[in-house]
Structure 1
Amino acid sequence: MQESNRRTFIKKLALGGAVISAVPHQLMAAKTATIFDKNSGGHKKLFRTSYTGEQLQRIAFPIGGMGAGMFCLEGTGAISHLSIRHRPEMFFEPCVFAAIRIKGKKNGTRILEQNVPAWKKFGQKNAALGGTDGSHWGLPRFRHAAFEAQFPFASITLTDPQMPLEVSLKGWSPFVPSETDDSSLPVGALEYTFKNMGTEPEEYIFSYNAKNVIAEPKGNSSIRSNNNGFTLSMDGIDDNPEKQGYFTVYTDDEEPVVKHAWFRGFRRDALSMLWKTLGEDEIKTTAALATDAPGASLFIPFKLAPGELRTFKLMFAWYFPETVLREGDSHPAYTEQQTSVSGPKYYKPWYSVQFKNIDEVAHYWKKNYVRLYEQSTLFKKAFFDSTLPSEVLEAVSANLSILKSPTILRQHDGRLWAWEGCGDDVGSCWGSCTHVWNYAQALPHLFPDMERSFRETEFHENQDEEGHQGHRANLPISPLRYNYHMKAADGQLGGIMKVYRDWRICGDTAWLRAIYPKVKASMDYCIRVWDPKKLGVMEGDQLNTYDQAFWGPNGMCMSIYLGALKAMICMGRFFKDDVRIYEGIFEKAKAYLEQHLFNGAYFVQEINWPGLTDKAEKGDPRFVGSYTADELEIVRKEGPKYQYGDGCLSDGILGSWLSEVCGLGNPVNPEKVKSHLLSVYKYNQKSTLHNHGNTQRATYANGEEAGLVLCSWPKGNRLSLPFYYCDEVWTGVEYQVASHLIFTDRLEEGLEIVRACRSRYDGSIRNPFNEYEYGHWYARSLSSYSLLQALTGIRYDAVDNTLFIDSKIGDFTAFIATATGFGQVHFFDGEPALQVFYGDIVVEKIVISGKEMA
């Protein structure tokens, strides 16, 4: 780390007479938002405060690297969701735990966790049989815990009236915006701090204990020694090389005592003998075994005077170099020529190319621990030392955990590939799905090179010579086999806008110049397929994020079409290309959207499919399956199934929002956009879902909970079978609508939606760090990042080195991330200041609310 990055400083830049200057710290007092908590007798709950009591029940905070796997730190201090084999393992709660022994004290041994949450005790798999063999749930724990999180750090305080000892635990893993590789490491850390709360000096033994949780049938498992710890090992075999893996635990303490092999015996004997050892005042080492060691422990004896503190750092690293993971269908020409030159047959993680083995990973982690801690702390300070509403900080930061979840994979060449979310045991919906990742706005700002790797895949491997772009990418990434179901209007059009956004963020015009012909081919393909008459009216079937095709012009896809055309016009003009055809279509499309699809309150759909009945009766391949007689009767009366027609769709003007966050500005009449959003707020935002019927996936929100439903029909004419997610609540859409409302100066309505969403994720029922849709850690929820831009108007253009500000909340201090550094923007009394925490941010021009500073 360069010395210039070690200090926080204020950039004072002369800008044609204007100076960006420091802002007095006393003007930066944080604002606190509250919500009404029905379960607290009328008391108000503060956002961004400690989680205690029932709110600890479901907390599981991801620790790991981007595309490298994770484990979770639960609200009690337990480890769970151990997902390090390149797949989600949501119910893998390994027998891995820390313990403390107060020497000479009766009942002086405790697991360093709070008591097991009540929901785990009954109704879970095997609970009625007594739980999983080897579980440590029955061992004594601390009575009380409090959990706090400031991503990427989570802290837990443990207390117990019977223990004259206060314990604090901090879990973290590196997260440094713009430093992609250091943020993609297969590592994590737990730091335990002990404070003697008694009146006499005490002697203690701290231990960390792990069953060999990576051992699998058919293969040689062992536990070997490493420097100041132990490594759980599993050898691969010829038929199953993917079984090979390593998980290492070690400390920076120079004198740990390591027990490399627990007692070998029947069923629970190993844990029984370990508990006996943990209750003793003397510790003994055991040598490593060549095979079949049940588990290992490291012990650190220490002393504390009254009031004295001591901290121990535990570092974790893992290494699983091979997989049998493969998704999608490669183009036949590629499959025939595939050799080692083309790339591996199966997914191979990026870190396995960067590091030869687990020892290299562990060495790098230990060597760079302090530097990465300091840099991650800089991000934490830059983000959280803010005056923005705390519910917004919570919503944005909680969803950054998606980037550490198994939703993300990073393949051998460094490119990202992603699921939409995580199932319990497998990824959910493959292929970096373009129309889901349209919503995700965190990655392009925090790790712009990784976001651009999505564009590289979309416009190269996923796009054919005609410009047809598939919306799902193969794994390993390779040229697609194209078919009808790979043609998604919202995803392909959205990608054009995202190219423009990514170019302005990175400032790399050479990158844009190289990809521009492919982008133009994509735009021209979209026109040929969906607007062949060039009238600015999208026709035919428009596959979209609702897993159905909308037939005929509609506000959602038409607004995205407008944004894509505007992006093409802007990029084409930059290259002095002839964009008259795009300009003409843009004007026609804008007129049609505003004049024909706006019903006076909100934007709607014109359902239109010529020859519908004939094609339906003949079994058109674009239907999913064939129609029954009952379905055909509906089709003849109403048109194709799964449309929205006269409905008020929460995503009904999605392209306007996407244009805003891509730096293109709103392409649609602003008053009509605002009217649509206020209609969505009026009709779709429910303070309670008690009277809301939902035959679809109701676990996202139901009962007395508040939420924004996807669609309603306030003027009647609800279709018999509208698109089949219409009554659901998706957090990613909630944040999209909330930020869009704020963009249009409707601050309170937007924040109400955010508060309602986050109140469902308070830890008592749902994990605050796992917003789910069709899977855990669902990518669409990264739309929450757009709230930062909506509130402040902060946007950095690296092409022109311009800082944009357009505050909707008056004075503020807020986070900014660019391709070259991050920090804070301060805005007080109309004067901006830029404080760079890490890297460099060059500003040559400032635009405030559309006006350039003199």
Structure 2
Amino acid sequence: MNKSILLILACSLCASNVIAQEWNKDWPILKTYQDKYLKEVAMPLGGIGTGTISLGGTGDLRDWEIMNRGALGYIPAFKLVQPTIANGPFFAIYYKEQGKDPEIKVLEGPVSQDEYYGDWGADAVNSGFPRFEKTTFAAAYPLAQINFEHRKVPLDVRLEAFNPLIVGDADQSGIPVAVLRYVLTNNTDSPIETSIVGMIPNYIGIDGWSGTPEGNYNEYRDSDDIKGLFMYSEKVDKKDVNWGTMALTTTSDGDVSYRTSWAKLGWNWTFREFWDDFIHDGKLTDHPDRNVVEMTDKDVAFLEERSENEKEKIKTPPATLAVKHLIQPGDSKSITFMITWHFPNRRAWDHGTHHSGQYGGEDIVGNYYTTQYSDAWDVAKTMKTNFEELEEGTIDFVESLVNSDLPEILVEAGLFNLNNLRSQTVFRTEDGLPFGFEGTGSIKGTKIGAEKASGWGFGTCTHVWNYESTIPFLFGDLSMKFREVEFLHAVNENGGQSHRVALPIEKGTDFKRWAADGQMGTLIKVYRDWQLSGDDAKLKEMWPNIKKAMSFAWNGGVWDIDKDGVMEGVQHNTMDINYVGPNPQMAGWYLGALRASEEMAIHLGDKAFAQECRSLFLKGSSWIDENLFNGDYYEHHIPEGESKVAQLGKGCLVDQLVGQYLAHTAGLGYVLDKDNVQTTLKSIMNYNYVTDFNDHFNTFRSFALGDESGLIMASYPKGDLLDFPFPYYTEVMTGFEYSTAAHMIYEGQIDAGIKIFENVRNRYDGYKRNPFNEGEYGHRYSRAMSAWAGILAYTGFQYSAVTKTMNFNPNSGSFFWSNGYGFGTIKISESGASKAVTLTSKKGDLELSSFKLNGFGTIKFKKKISIKEGEDYTFSVSKN
């Protein structure tokens, strides 16, 4: 099945008419958006830990979040004289047919009607530009294409935008770059002069939250096979969080012209002067800030009236770069631009305005990516050197996934939420260690809250981050570094793990609070990541604190007080409350942690601890099934005499089996009775599924509205709704929905699981919400990266670098696999009573001692096989 073709022809969420212009046939396409479904589309471009710039559905550049803080909604623009209209970043096209006047159009579709009406008319930057009548946005993250249409434009115009995403290589996936390639095709019988121009204000010093640009300059450079403008500041403090460099460059062989700044004129005549210059011949005349620009007599009248302030240089001088070509009939030209950046002064847990200074908020911890490059020009140079390899590697990954026989909704959810890893939600400090907020902030804040923040939920909060299943299977080394933070820097002397880590890392345990779900979940994750990596040395290094953290469950005096495998004490958790008494949510986490610790202890020869964990697991699992399962689902038992305020009680909780979900992704098997687990998931679908939120009473945040559908956090089908239940019980949140839906798929309840995935993505359809921004406590929420588990569940993929084994479900077809260090495809087909399997490694080498088709059969290779990168291996699996 070729989804690229099918989804161009038909898209249930998008307008049905098919555009005439072609797409890049080498780039896979998963989703197309057009007409009203473009309204909220904004795909972030940038690397892991670098921040991003978002490409809007109409072709605009928005959400400039590259200066160490989340800043959704921020667009750098320059104003000259108050009052005046601001010009923001843009790309535009000049074209001239023979015998006709030249034309200019900004490379954007129509202004959204939401921005038609402001205090001064249209409330959109660059609204005065002529523009295209229509755009269509096609994407398979991180590859995006936009076709621009206008009935009077004699060219086919397409934008191809991406940033590198190389599975298993966080460094190459962490390049601070947005690549924009404009492809122009002449469909006429005569040559056409064309020129693409791009402008970015040099706004170094201000990021949407704080700061002032001062002494900013742009310098034209022509070296290393790239040409462009290097943006820097001479007066912004080099220790400031907003200090750094930027560059706008091109690799084109066309006729390049530039402006290091624009003429500083009043009443936005500056824009008119640029227009007149560019439309004259499609080339730019520089107006450098360092020289006095001579004005003509016609300017004298208003020049004499300028204030002293107006005579100063432009605070954020526009860096403007143009590339001109003559395109012959039937020919095409590709003009590639790169926006690169380099801002080294990240502060620890910097919230912009909210909680500033808390847990190291004022300390400079740096950025790992800025240690890889000297400045923004160096980024561009490095990118140019490896451009083809990086683009091909990105395409290979996305194509392998998109063209596999996976339900496209699972691919969409997993792939599109991968962008959260590359947003300001995640950063890497100078030493390479990774950290994450729960979500990022908007400069506009919210009408329903009094506070604003560039980041929400500091500390790589373990009870939130436990849900994500994306990083370990795509970037294994990076995932293991998250485990290093948790077990080498966040475990206190008593074994309690700080569920929010402080920075700088030397202060990692300063936050002396523990979360029962957070701590138990990290134990499952460290087992999973060790299995995927096979890194015994790292496991041994972390083992003392792993053992200490596991033992804290019964030695800490707060959770499993009587050491019987069941938590009955005060259990802080992701609902932001403290459960009291046995409950399924903490029970599943605890049992999964005991199983993971048992397996690690066995491998390391710690037989006594393995036996201790095994004994507690067996007692606890049996007790939970016998006492908490009510025939439909597992209940929370609140002890007599304890407060029922902010508790669950007899409610049916959406993620009561979340520990079992993560145990499945780690290959640990069942931690609770299989039949009870499967019955519980059916009950969750039966009791917690809302098909119309017009009829749903919600006491807290609204993430689903109107006729949308989704799984609410808790229901009370057996009565006994508490007067004051835990606060989020009426909400829906995508990370909980995904993890539960993936678990349903693991248990064979495929239709129900896929339905939930579809419900979520229908809410993020490009019209109502941004498909690249699933929120919860802030934007691009980390928990939403649990979506990748849908792919794992459907394929049944498991891999162990420790035992050199791989598992897959026995369904016929071609499927994608990735283990965090490489990826490839697998083709399974019927072969009599056996199954024929062709396993391909597209990146990385793969070693196997055995291979299992779940529920069908296992082959143990007589001799360990090694599949090198780019090779495949075919074998048969007989039915057991």
TM-score by length of 1: 0.87
Q: Quote the residue 2:128 is aligned against.
A: 138
3-state SS of the aligned residue for 1:65? coil
Q: How does 1:761-780 map to 2 (within 5 A)?
A: 761-780=764-783
Which amino acid letter does the alignment assign opposite residue 128 of structure 1?
D
How many residue pairs align between the two structures?
777
2:632 to 594, 601, 604: 601
CA contact (8 A) 1:821 1:838 kept: yes
Q: C-alpha offsets along residues 599-645 of structure 1, whole Å, 9 cap, x if unaligned?
A: 100011001275x4xxxxxxxxxxxxxxxxxxxxxxxxxx2311111
1:318 is matched with: 341
Indicate if the aligned counterparts of 2:561 and 2:569 stay in contact, CA closer than 8 A.
no
Whether 1:256 and 2:277 are equivalent positions in the alignment is no
Paired position in structure 2 for 1:51: 33
Task: Tell me which residue corresponds to 1:848.
Answer: 853
Aligned to 1:836: 841
Say whether 1:198 aligns with 2:192: no
**In the alignment, is the contact (CA less than 8 A) between 2:65 and 2:72 conserved in 1?**
yes
Q: Secondary structure of 1:128's partner?
A: coil
What CA distance in whole angstroms lies between the structure 1 residues aligned with 2:704 and 2:548? 41
For 2:91, which of 98, 120, 126 is the aligned residue?
98
> Is the contact made by 1:263 and 1:294 (CA closer than 8 Å) also made in structure 2?
no
Mapping for residues 587-626 of structure 1, pairs under 5 Å: 587-608=618-639, 612=642
Which has the larger displacement, 31-40 or 185-194? 31-40
Q: What secondary structure, in the 3-state scheme, does the structure 2 residue paired with 1:777 have?
A: coil
C-alpha separation in 2, matches of 1:324 and 1:741: 41
Percent identity of the aligned residues? 32
- 1:509 paired with 2:512, answer no
Asked whether the equivalents of residues 378 and 838 of structure 1 are also in contact (C-alpha less than 8 Å), the reply is no
Determine the C-alpha separation between the residues in 2 that align with 1:408 and 1:513: 27
Matched residue, 2:398: 380
TM-superposed deviation, 1:31:
9.1
Output the CA distance in 1 between the equivalents of 2:218 and 2:2.
55
Query: 8 Å contact 1:96–1:210 — kept in the other structure?
Result: yes
Which residue in 2 is equivalent to 1:618?
Answer: none
Specify which of 154, 158, 172 is matched with residue 168 of structure 1: 158
1:181 aligns with 2:210: no
Secondary structure of the corresponding residue to residue 242 of structure 1: coil
Instruction: Give the corresponding residue for 2:459.
Output: 431
Matched residue type, 2:245: Y
2:469 is matched with which residue? 441
User: Aligned with 2:229: secondary structure?
Assistant: strand
Q: Distance in 2 between matches of 1:28 and 1:158?
A: 22
Aligned equivalents of 1:39 and 1:443: distance in 2? 30
In 2, the alpha carbon distance for the partners of 1:38 and 1:367 equals: 39
> What is the match of residue 627 of structure 1?
none
Q: Which residue of 2 aligns with 1:22?
A: none
Q: How does 1:392-431 map to 2 (within 5 A)?
A: 392-425=410-443, 426-431=454-459
Quick one: structure 1 residues 483 and 142, their matched pair in 2 at CA, closer, same or farther if it must change by over 3 Å? closer
1:35 and 1:755 in contact (8 A); partners too: no
- State the one-letter code of the partner of 1:585: L
Give 3-state SS (helix, strand or coil) of 1:606's partner: coil
CA distance in 1, matches of 2:576, 2:727: 9
Specify the alignment match of 2:200 in structure 1: 210
Tell whether 2:617 aligns with 1:586: yes
CA distance in structure 1 between the aligned counterparts of 2:629 and 2:91, rounded to whole angstroms:
61
| Contact 1:206–1:299 (Cα < 8 Å) also in 2 | yes
Distance 1:136 1:27 in 2: 39
1:459 alignment counterpart: 487
Please give the alpha-carbon distance, in whole angstroms, between the structure 2 residues aligned to 1:61 and 1:750: 26
User: How far, CA to CA, are the matches of 1:520 and 1:471 in structure 2?
Assistant: 17
Match 2:585 to one of 537, 556, 559 = 556
Question: What is the rounded CA distance, in whole Å, between the counterparts of 2:548 and 2:349 in structure 1?
Answer: 29
Please give the per-residue CA displacement for 1:395-419, whole angstroms capped at 9, x wherever unaligned: 1111011111110111101111100
C-alpha contact 1:743 1:791 (8 A) present in aligned 2: yes
Aligned-partner SS, 2:258? strand
1:660-699 aligned within 5 A: 660-698=664-702
Counterpart of 2:80? none
- Over 3 Å counting, the alpha-carbon distance change for 1:481 and 1:512 in structure 2 is closer
Aligned residue number for residue 525 of structure 2: 498
Counterpart-to-counterpart distance in 2, 1:671 and 1:790: 18
Match of 1:372, SS? helix
- Aligned partner of 1:625 in structure 2 is none
Instruction: Map 1:628-667; keep pairs closer than 5 Å.
Output: 639-667=643-671
State the Cα distance separating 1:568 from its structure 2 match: 1.1
Cα separation, 1, equivalents of 2:135 and 2:553: 55
Question: Mean alpha-carbon deviation: is it higher for 712-721 or for 475-484?
Answer: 475-484
Contact 2:635 2:651 in 1 (8 A): yes
Change (3 A) 1:487 1:378: same
Q: Distance in 2 between matches of 1:60 and 1:319?
A: 22
Task: Name the SS of the counterpart of 1:608 in structure 2.
Answer: coil
CA distance in 2, matches of 1:177, 1:846: 22
CA distance in 1, matches of 2:240, 2:783: 34
**One-letter code aligned to 1:535:** D
Query: What is the SS of the residue equivalent to 2:52?
Result: strand
CA deviations 1:243-280 (Å, max 9, x no partner) are 32221011112441112221112352322322233322
Partner of 2:407: 389
Matching residue's letter, 1:375:
G
Quick one: structure 1 residues 138 and 30, their matched pair in 2 at CA, closer, same or farther if it must change by over 3 Å? closer
Q: Is the 8 A contact 1:236 1:245 kept in 2?
A: no
Alignment equivalent of 1:115, drawn from 90, 101, 110:
110
Structure-2 separation of matches of 1:469 and 1:148:
44
2:115, 2:122 within 8 Å by CA — same for their partners in 1? no
- The correspondence for 2:119, drawn from 119, 125, 128, is 128
Equivalent in the alignment of 1:489: 516
Q: Give the residue type in structure 1 aligned to 2:851.
A: I
Q: How do residues 512-591 of structure 1 correspond to structure 2 at under 5 angstroms?
A: 512-528=539-555, 529-577=558-606, 578=608, 579-591=610-622
List aligned pairs for 1:784-795, cutoff 5 A: 784-795=787-798
Q: Which residue of 2 aligns with 1:357?
A: 375
Cα distance in 1 for residues equivalent to 2:319 and 2:603 = 62
Q: 1:456 to 1:267 in 2, by over 3 A?
A: farther
| Counterpart mapping for 1:17-28 below 5 A | none
Give the conservation status (yes or no) of the 8 Å contact 1:30–1:387. no
Query: Over aligned residues, Cα RMSD in angstroms?
Result: 2.6
* Structure 2: segments with no counterpart, 5+ residues: 17-28, 77-87, 207-211, 291-312, 352-357, 444-453, 861-880
- Corresponding residue for 1:64? 46
Matched residue SS, 1:137: coil
Greater Cα shift, 529-538 or 759-768: 529-538
Q: Distance in 2 between matches of 1:39 and 1:302?
A: 35
Match of 1:469 among 485, 497, 522: 497
Is this contact kept in 1: 2:217–2:260, CA < 8 A?
Answer: no
Of stretches 289-298 and 757-766 in structure 1, the one that deviates more from structure 2 is 289-298
8 A Cα contact 1:196 1:309, kept in partner: yes
Per the TM alignment, residue 27 of structure 1 is displaced from its structure 2 partner at its CA by 11
For the residue of structure 2 that corresponds to 1:496, the secondary structure is helix
Gap runs ≥5 in structure 1: 1-25, 42-46, 329-334, 613-638
Counterpart code for 2:476: P
CA distance in 2, matches of 1:114, 1:475: 44
CA contact 2:14–2:37 (8 Å) conserved in 1: no
Change (3 A) 1:828 1:128: farther
Residues 419 and 29 of structure 1: is their aligned pair in 2 closer, same or farther, counting only changes over 3 Å? Answer: closer
Paired AA for residue 99 in structure 1: A
Deviation at 1:435, TM superposition (A): 0.9
Matched, 1:739 2:742: yes
- 1:812 maps to a residue whose letter is G
Task: Name 2:302's counterpart in structure 1.
Answer: none
Residues 347, 411 of structure 1: 8 Å contact kept:
yes
In 2, the alpha carbon distance for the partners of 1:371 and 1:682 equals 49
Check conservation: 2:633, 2:676, Cα contact below 8 A. yes
* Whole-angstrom CA distance in 2 between matches of 1:39 and 1:799: 46
Task: Report the secondary structure of 1:310's partner residue.
Answer: strand
Shift of 1:460: 2.1
Stretch of structure 1 that moved more, 111-120 or 439-448: 111-120
